[in-house]
Amino acid sequence: MCADRLTRLPAPPGPGALVCPAGHRFDIARQGQVSLLAAPLRFTGDDGQMIAARADFLAAGHFAGLRDAAAAAIADHLTGADPLTVELGAGTGYHLTGIVKTVGGRGIALDVSKAAARRAARAHRDVAAIIADAWSTWPVADAAVGVVVSVFAPRNPAETARVLRPGGLAVVVAPDAAHLGELAGPLGLIGVDADKTRRLEDGLGAVLDPVTTIPVRYEAAMTRDHAGLAAAMGPSAHHGGDRTAALEALPAEVTVTVSAQVSIFRARP
């Protein structure tokens, strides 16, 4: 990939393609997503089952409070109208869609998972889905972005600083030790790294200016099925083995703590 500007070429009746002046072409899939991976990866991100579990879990509204808190924080601190918002590890586009609806502008859902990009491409008319590696160079122009968002997802401080316009925002939603605590023991969920906050401050805080950190905590009433989806939609899906017996041992409905921090950083002039 030459990193030159891409233009969309229509190709009726199909979705078309993105092309650069040098002639590099990236076909847009019929579902709407496009792969801009610079090279083949050794991993493919969340698979179809994990993405389906995430879609069903989020549709139940258990993380709506997190999404709304992030959107409100962006609206309170954003300067300028109609921003381009990029979400890293965007999954189904659930959080990004809520943010775009709140602050306006357009969104790019960036995820390495093809299954995730397929869902995100259909999430909202103003959201585009790109398959790309968040740990590598992003297919986004310098200083072109108003907001970079990471919700329980990877962060790339150097690329965040590169793509943000002066005064743009980086918003990180990170779980704390209490998050889903009622499910962690019974279902063997992966715990939260005690150094997560320090690493966040050392990483983004080294290239951007910290603005504020907003704690978000509330209780969500989850059915046994939703608890199973919570275990199946993230990294814990690869650990812990068969959870059938553990899930059957849970009450039909369990009150679960949703707890995280919304950290805001601002790009330097």
Do both 209 and 96 map to the same domain? yes
**Of 28, 42, 5, 260, nearest to 135 (Cα)?**
42
Mean pLDDT of 67-94: 96
Do both 46 and 15 map to the same domain? no
Confidence label for 66 from pLDDT (cuts 50, 70 and 90): very high
Do both 15 and 77 map to the same domain? no
Do both 24 and 91 map to the same domain? no
**Which pLDDT tens digit goes with each residue over 23-63?**
788 888 888 899 998 777 777 788 999 999 999 999 999 99
Chain-centroid distance, C-alpha 165: 20
Mean pLDDT of 154-165: 96
pLDDT at res. 4: 75
pLDDT at res. 15: 76
pLDDT at res. 189: 84
The count of domains in the chain is 2
pLDDT at res. 13: 65
Do both 23 and 107 map to the same domain? no
Do both 178 and 253 map to the same domain? yes
**Which pLDDT tens digit goes with each residue over 186-244?**
988 877 776 666 777 779 989 999 999 999 999 999 999 999 999 998 777 766 677 88
pLDDT at res. 39: 74
For the cut 70, the answer to whether the pLDDT of residue 9 exceeds it is: yes
Residues spanned by the domain of 5:
1-30
Do both 37 and 105 map to the same domain? yes
Do both 39 and 18 map to the same domain? no
Do both 116 and 170 map to the same domain? yes
Do both 167 and 256 map to the same domain? yes
**Of 91, 93, 95, 111, nearest to 63 (Cα)?**
95
pTM for the model stands at 0.92
Q: Which of 27-31, 101-105, 169-173, 192-196 has the lowest mean pLDDT?
A: 192-196
Mean pLDDT of 136-162: 95
Do both 11 and 90 map to the same domain? no
Structure tokens at 217: 């905590």
pLDDT at res. 30: 87
More confident residue, 233 or 69: 69
Is it true that the peptide bond before 13 is cis, omega within 30 degrees of 0? yes
For the cut 90, the answer to whether the pLDDT of residue 22 exceeds it is: no
Mean pLDDT of 146-172: 96
Compute the distance between CA of residue 17 and CA of residue 179 in angstroms, rounded to an integer: 41
CATH number at residue 188: 3.40.50.150
Task: Find the radius of gyration of the CA atoms of the chain.
Answer: 19
Q: Supply the mean pLDDT for the chain.
A: 90
Mean pLDDT of 64-80: 96
Neighbours of 251 (CB within 10 A): 10
Compute the distance between CA of residue 193 and CA of residue 54 in angstroms, rounded to an integer: 22
Do both 119 and 232 map to the same domain? yes
For the cut 70, the answer to whether the pLDDT of residue 139 exceeds it is: yes
pLDDT at res. 25: 86
CA–CA distances in Å: residue 232 to residues 128, 163, 181, 191 = 26, 33, 16, 15
